[in-house]
Amino acid sequence: MAADIDTPLLEVRALSASYRTPAGAIRAVRDVSFDLRPGETLALVGESAAGKSSIGLALLGLLPSNASVDGGEARYRGEPLLGATPDRLRQLRGAEISMIFQDAQSALTPTISVGDQVAEVYAAHLRLSRKEARERAIARLREVLPDAERVAKAYPFQLSGGMAQRVMIAMATALSPRVIIADEPTASLDPSVRQETLGALERLRDEQGVGVLLITHDFGVVARLADRVAVMYAGELVEVVDVRTAFRAPRHPYTFGLLSSLPAYASERGQLVPMAGQPPDLSDLPPGCPFLPRCSKVTLRCRAEPAPALAAYAPVEADPQPAEAHPQPDEAHPQPGEAHLVACYNPIAVALRE
């Protein structure tokens, strides 16, 4: 059955994952829920170690051997991902869901030539002969590189960062996947390759309806590409909202702090400046809200109880009714894409900019 345009490509519900380490379990992803729809870019933002990459790896069955998925569900066009067999995940990866990895150069296999790596994508999924796969690979590389034949013979260490990124995007998009998980796709690229990469993602989204889960620190990239923003803090999503509202009137004190500390706030070149304080130790989370030690809006409840689950934001001054009285996402068919969701007992009530 073909999924229609409104069917989410990805539905993630209460996903939790952790890493086993000698110092104890690192609870990197806790109760994370979101949807990704066709033609949509959802930006996953938050400081280093928030758990952003771990979400992408968990969805694709690529977590390292010391990690485990501890709970939740994830579906791709209705099909369960977390319980999928390794064979099914291999079929889905690349053909349906691709990941552009955080460090292109080290994500490529060092001992295999670039041409053979791209050819392998075709050979594995399309049952082509070596020769046919090789030809397809060269043709694909020609679309993104001026000197495809030479690059095809090279090994990853012989490529510049920008070149490796182009190869990675060529591989990730070779089979026209419906979902791309782009993990810091522009980090450490020079400005022209950065623009080119963002343009490529934009075209895939707008012309082919690809859903992009965009993991980034760079709010310039968020402003250019994202439709919605999911803000992650210490393993949890703390705010999910459309991009305009995220920049104009963020409600979670963490999002507010993150944005208001940008030197060129919301400008094309805005870079994230770390806020004062540090995220908590994910292997030893304190009671109460994990953002508490850095928060300007702490109440007694924030210390006494775990932070609330994401819920539709309800302006306190505008309406004295408790949040429960406001329209809530339908529990049988939750649609996290539509509401302004905030996980805070005492959200910010003023706009950051008009």
Ligand X SMILES: Nc1ncnc2c1ncn2[C@@H]1O[C@H](COP(=O)(O)OP(=O)(O)OP(=O)(O)O)[C@@H](O)[C@H]1O
Q: For binding to ligand X (CB under 6 A), which residues are involved?
A: 19, 21, 26, 28, 46, 48-54, 64, 66, 102, 282
What is the four-CA torsion angle of 62, 66, 67, 71, rounded to 10 degrees? 130
Task: Answer with the entry of ligand X, Mg ion, none that 45 interacts with (C-beta below 5 to 8 A by kind).
Answer: none
Helix (H) or strand (E) holding 314: none
- Min dist CB 75 to ligand X, Å, is 21
Task: Answer with the entry of Mg ion, ligand X, none that 336 interacts with (C-beta below 5 to 8 A by kind).
Answer: none
> With binding defined as CB under 5 A, does residue 186 bind Mg ion?
no
- Min dist CB 304 to Mg ion, Å, is 32
Binding mask 281-300 for Mg ion (x = CB under 5 A): --------------------
- Min dist CB 74 to Mg ion, Å, is 18
**Considering Cα of 83, then 240, then 66, then 59, what sign does the dihedral take?**
positive
- Min dist CB 338 to ligand X, Å, is 25
Binding mask 48-77 for Mg ion (x = CB under 5 A): -----x------------------------
Q: Which stretch binds Mg ion (CB under 5 A): 1-9, 45-53, 283-291, 305-313?
A: 45-53
Task: Answer with the entry of ligand X, Mg ion, none that 282 interacts with (C-beta below 5 to 8 A by kind).
Answer: ligand X
Taking the least distance from each CB to Mg ion, the nearer of 40 and 183 is 183
CA distance 45 to 166: 23
**Considering Cα of 224, then 228, then 233, then 239, what sign does the dihedral take?**
positive
Angstrom CA distances, 313 to 27, 63, 256, 347, stand at 26, 33, 15, 8
CA distance 134 to 120: 8
Instruction: Give the other-Cβ count within 10 Å of 304's Cβ.
Output: 10
- Read out DSSP for 80-123? ESTT--HHHHHHHHHHTEEEE-SSHHHHS-TTS-HHHHHHHHHH
- Min dist CB 184 to Mg ion, Å, is 6
- Min dist CB 41 to ligand X, Å, is 18
In 3-state terms, what secondary structure has residue 159? coil
Q: Which residues sit at the interface with Mg ion, rule CB under 5 A?
A: 53
